[in-house]
Amino acid sequence: MWVYPYMVTLYGINNCDTVRKARRWLADHDIEHRFHDFRTDGISRKLLMPWVEDLGWEALLNRRSTTWRQLPATQRDGLDRATALDLMLKHPTLIRRPVLAIDKRHYVGFKDDQYAQLFP
């Protein structure tokens, strides 16, 4: 197995198809990584804040999720950074997946070519 010179962590939930694809890609390319499941390992403000700083809360908020559609309109309308953070902490499935952390850089979503560029 090839060890990337930085710590690689993949964040998401086990039963997400996109997370499964990302995990499979990393395994197929022998990239040593740690998997952090939001549901079992939890999520904290300390963990979420660097993602928001790097990616922006808009990029992280999954407005296509079932959880999003189940929220009352009063919670979905007029979101700002603070409200979005609170919602993502309360409902981690609102976080777009997967989030890939390489050292102190963060990436959201999965695409074969993006990962191929990140891990030459």
Name the residue ranges covered by the structural domains of the chain.
8-118
Q: What is the tens place of the pLDDT at every residue in 70-89?
A: 999 988 888 999 999 999 99
Determine which helix (DSSP H) or strand (DSSP E) holds 50, and give its type and residue range. Answer: helix 45-55
pLDDT of residue 106: 96
Average pLDDT over the chain, rounded to an integer: 92
pTM: 0.90
pLDDT of residue 1: 52
**Whether the Cβ atoms of residue 25 and residue 115 lie closer than 8 Å to each other:** yes
**CATH class as words, domain 8-118:** alpha beta
Q: What is the average per-residue pLDDT within 48-67?
A: 94
- Annotated catalytic sites, by residue? 16
Pairwise CA distance, residues 85 & 94, whole Å: 10
Residue with tokens 């998997």: 35
Rg of the chain, C-alpha, whole Å: 15
